[in-house]
Protein backbone atom coordinates (compact mmCIF):
# COMPACT_ATOMS: atom_id res chain seq x y z
CA UNK A 1 0.00 0.00 0.00
CA UNK A 2 1.04 3.63 0.06
CA UNK A 3 3.86 4.51 2.42
CA UNK A 4 1.97 7.03 4.53
CA UNK A 5 3.24 6.94 8.06
CA UNK A 6 3.32 10.57 9.12
CA UNK A 7 0.14 11.92 10.62
CA UNK A 8 0.98 15.30 9.10
CA UNK A 9 0.30 14.04 5.57
CA UNK A 10 -3.19 15.08 4.59
CA UNK A 11 -5.27 12.76 2.43
CA UNK A 12 -7.93 14.34 0.24
CA UNK A 13 -10.72 12.33 -1.39
CA UNK A 14 -12.14 14.08 -4.44
CA UNK A 15 -15.93 14.02 -4.10
CA UNK A 16 -16.87 13.92 -7.79
CA UNK A 17 -16.65 10.75 -9.96
CA UNK A 18 -13.54 10.79 -12.16
CA UNK A 19 -12.82 9.29 -15.57
CA UNK A 20 -10.17 6.70 -14.74
CA UNK A 21 -8.52 7.09 -18.14
CA UNK A 22 -6.86 10.16 -16.60
CA UNK A 23 -3.24 9.58 -15.66
CA UNK A 24 -0.60 11.65 -13.82
CA UNK A 25 -1.06 14.94 -15.65
CA UNK A 26 -4.85 14.80 -15.92
CA UNK A 27 -5.29 14.04 -12.22
CA UNK A 28 -2.68 16.65 -11.23
CA UNK A 29 -4.63 19.17 -13.33
CA UNK A 30 -7.79 18.28 -11.35
CA UNK A 31 -5.90 18.91 -8.12
CA UNK A 32 -4.69 22.31 -9.36
CA UNK A 33 -7.88 23.44 -11.09
CA UNK A 34 -10.68 22.01 -8.95
CA UNK A 35 -9.07 21.81 -5.51
CA UNK A 36 -6.80 24.83 -5.98
CA UNK A 37 -3.94 22.89 -4.46
CA UNK A 38 -0.35 22.13 -5.41
CA UNK A 39 0.43 18.44 -5.87
CA UNK A 40 4.00 19.11 -4.67
CA UNK A 41 2.88 19.67 -1.07
CA UNK A 42 3.16 15.94 -0.38
CA UNK A 43 -0.55 15.52 0.31
CA UNK A 44 -2.32 12.49 -1.15
CA UNK A 45 -5.26 12.95 -3.52
CA UNK A 46 -7.71 10.08 -4.06
CA UNK A 47 -10.13 9.69 -6.97
CA UNK A 48 -12.95 7.15 -7.48
CA UNK A 49 -14.64 6.22 -10.77
CA UNK A 50 -18.38 6.60 -11.39
CA UNK A 51 -18.83 2.80 -11.37
CA UNK A 52 -16.87 2.65 -8.07
CA UNK A 53 -14.81 -0.28 -9.40
CA UNK A 54 -11.59 1.75 -9.82
CA UNK A 55 -9.74 4.20 -7.61
CA UNK A 56 -6.45 6.07 -7.89
CA UNK A 57 -4.27 7.94 -5.42
CA UNK A 58 -1.84 10.62 -6.53
CA UNK A 59 1.03 12.03 -4.47
CA UNK A 60 4.35 13.83 -4.77
CA UNK A 61 7.25 11.89 -3.20
CA UNK A 62 9.81 14.69 -3.45
CA UNK A 63 11.17 13.74 -6.86
CA UNK A 64 8.05 13.09 -8.92
CA UNK A 65 4.37 12.23 -9.01
CA UNK A 66 3.40 8.73 -7.85
CA UNK A 67 0.18 7.06 -8.95
CA UNK A 68 -1.40 4.17 -7.09
CA UNK A 69 -4.30 2.48 -8.89
CA UNK A 70 -6.64 -0.32 -7.86
CA UNK A 71 -9.48 -2.09 -9.65
CA UNK A 72 -11.82 -4.16 -7.48
CA UNK A 73 -12.78 -7.57 -8.83
CA UNK A 74 -15.62 -7.89 -6.31
CA UNK A 75 -17.60 -5.18 -4.55
CA UNK A 76 -17.34 -1.43 -4.92
CA UNK A 77 -15.38 1.44 -3.43
CA UNK A 78 -17.33 3.80 -1.18
CA UNK A 79 -18.89 6.71 -3.02
CA UNK A 80 -17.40 9.98 -1.71
CA UNK A 81 -20.11 11.93 -3.54
CA UNK A 82 -22.75 10.40 -1.27
CA UNK A 83 -21.18 12.03 1.82
CA UNK A 84 -23.00 15.29 2.62
CA UNK A 85 -20.73 18.27 2.05
CA UNK A 86 -20.49 21.34 -0.13
CA UNK A 87 -16.73 20.98 -0.64
CA UNK A 88 -15.00 19.37 -3.64
CA UNK A 89 -12.82 17.15 -1.41
CA UNK A 90 -12.91 15.62 2.04
CA UNK A 91 -10.00 14.70 4.27
CA UNK A 92 -9.51 11.21 5.67
CA UNK A 93 -6.89 9.51 7.83
CA UNK A 94 -4.39 6.91 6.61
CA UNK A 95 -6.52 4.21 8.29
CA UNK A 96 -9.62 5.41 6.46
CA UNK A 97 -7.68 5.43 3.18
CA UNK A 98 -6.64 1.82 3.81
CA UNK A 99 -10.29 0.89 4.40
CA UNK A 100 -11.32 2.69 1.22
CA UNK A 101 -8.73 0.86 -0.90
CA UNK A 102 -9.77 -2.46 0.63
CA UNK A 103 -13.30 -1.85 -0.60
CA UNK A 104 -14.66 -1.76 2.94
CA UNK A 105 -18.31 -0.78 3.31
CA UNK A 106 -17.58 1.34 6.41
CA UNK A 107 -15.10 3.60 4.59
CA UNK A 108 -16.19 7.26 4.36
CA UNK A 109 -19.43 6.68 6.28
CA UNK A 110 -18.26 8.72 9.26
CA UNK A 111 -14.87 10.00 10.47
CA UNK A 112 -12.92 7.30 12.28
CA UNK A 113 -10.06 9.53 13.43
CA UNK A 114 -9.78 13.08 14.71
CA UNK A 115 -8.96 15.64 11.99
CA UNK A 116 -5.36 16.64 11.32
CA UNK A 117 -4.76 20.14 12.59
Alpha-carbon distance of 72 to 101, in angstroms, equals: 9
Alpha-carbon distance of 58 to 23, in angstroms, equals: 9
Give 52-71 as a DSSP string: SSEEEEEEE-SSSEEEEEEE
Number of domains the chain is built from: 1
117 within some domain = no
pLDDT in tens, 14-64: 989 999 999 999 999 999 999 999 999 999 999 999 999 999 999 999 999
Domain span at residue 81 reads 11-102
Q: Is 52 helix (H, G, I), strand (E, B) or coil?
A: coil
41 within some domain = yes
110 within some domain = no
Query: Could you tell me which of 19, 17, 9 has the C-alpha nearest to residue 77?
Result: 17
1 within some domain = no
Q: Is 71 helix (H, G, I), strand (E, B) or coil?
A: strand
108 within some domain = no
pLDDT in tens, 87-102: 888 888 888 888 888 8
22 within some domain = yes
The pLDDT value recorded for residue 105 is 74
The pLDDT value recorded for residue 63 is 93
The pLDDT value recorded for residue 1 is 46
pLDDT at 79 over 60: yes
Amino acid sequence: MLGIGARTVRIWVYRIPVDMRKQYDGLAALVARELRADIRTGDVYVFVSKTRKRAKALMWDGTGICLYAKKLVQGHFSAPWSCPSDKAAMTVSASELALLFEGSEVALRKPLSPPIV
